[in-house]
Amino acid sequence: MRPKATQRTYYQTGFTIVELLVVIVVIGVLATISVVSYSGISQRATIASLQSDLNNNSKKLKMYYVLYGSYPTSLNGSNCPSAPNTDNNYCLTGSGNTTYQYSGSSSTFCTTATVSNISYYISQNSIPTLGGCPGDIVSGSPAIANPSFESDTVGNLSYPLQWNQYGNVANNYEGVASDFSVYGTKSFKISQTTTDMDGGIWARISGLTIGQNVTVSVWIKSGAGVANASLNLCTSQHGLTGNKSVSANQGANVNGRFSVTMTSVDQTSVDLFLGQGSWGLSSRGDVWFDGVQVTIS
């Protein structure tokens, strides 16, 4: 009689569903970290490249000035000086896909360098700075028209092109002025004496997509006694039907660049207000505005 066969049970080793899910999650997290790290490294490399290019180009432009007694007032399609003297030895150059925007006069220059959505600018007396020169296109979005009032006529009640007057008119001076400027030779000035006022100029930033962010940066100088040098973005005035408003109003004795950001706009246009007093707040004294910059993201 044969012995009875013994039944054996075999088990296959492997991963459970839970273990597989854990592995997948870990791989996903590691991949995300790698992508974020690479993105950060890539962005830092781009910024370093832009800053280096701008510093090098600034040296070229200053050498051009020493040679000809003027900065280039215009560049040709190859970013080489075409006026007042053509000289291909002082072209703006950059790494990779850098694009340039340039404006210059006999004594000043400003150039913006852009790669992808990153822009830096430099002028004759500055270091590379995030953003763009006044009036330049930053992050692929159009800047506001006539940002430094250089194309306008100086005089009381002489308002800049592409801008509109709002509210009260200053009783001492309101118009394009030449007694202060940061860019070029002109600015917009409001001078109110004796009583307070609420008024100034406004312009419309158009062509937006709902949900975008709009940042406006303006050089503001104010005299003693100023309570409200106004910088405001709004989507509820002059026919706009939104309900957003943000301000970065300044007080007395400021002299610098200030900015305001409206996040997630609810209209395809935003109105920019620059003035003396705004939204029920009145003010008096002297206020100057210059070098309007608009960034859309």
Cβ atoms < 10 Å from Cβ of 120: 23
150-177: pLDDT as tens digits: 778 999 999 987 788 999 899 999 999 9
Q: Which of 29-33, 42-46, 137-141, 244-248 is predicted with the least confidence, judged by mean pLDDT?
A: 137-141
**pLDDT tens across 228-265, in order?**
999 999 999 988 999 999 999 999 999 999 999 999 99
pLDDT at position 169: 93
88 to 75, 79, 122, 145, 180: CA distances (angstroms):
10, 9, 21, 31, 35
**Mean of per-residue pLDDT scores for the chain:** 84
What is the pLDDT confidence band of residue 37, given thresholds at 50, 70 and 90?
very low
Q: The whole model's pTM is what?
A: 0.58
Return d(Cα 58, Cα 180) in angstroms, integer. 25
The DSSP annotation for 189-208 comes to: EEEEEEEEE-EEEEEEE-S-
Q: Which pair of structure tokens corresponds to residue 208?
A: 């937006």
**Average pLDDT for residues 44-49, to the nearest whole number?**
86
Strands 74-75 and 81-83: antiparallel
As a whole number, mean pLDDT of residues 16-42 equals 65
CA-wise closest residue to 91 among 105, 107, 111, 108 = 111
CATH class held by domain 164-296? mainly beta
Q: What does the pLDDT read at residue 7?
A: 56
Domain boundaries, the chain: 34-130, 164-296
- Band the pLDDT of 209: cuts 50, 70, 90: confident
Average pLDDT over residues 120-129: 87
Pull the structure tokens for residue 72.
């280039």
Contact, 256 vs 178, CB < 8 A? no
As a dihedral over the C-alpha atoms of residue 143, residue 149, residue 150, residue 156, rounded to 10 degrees, the angle is 170
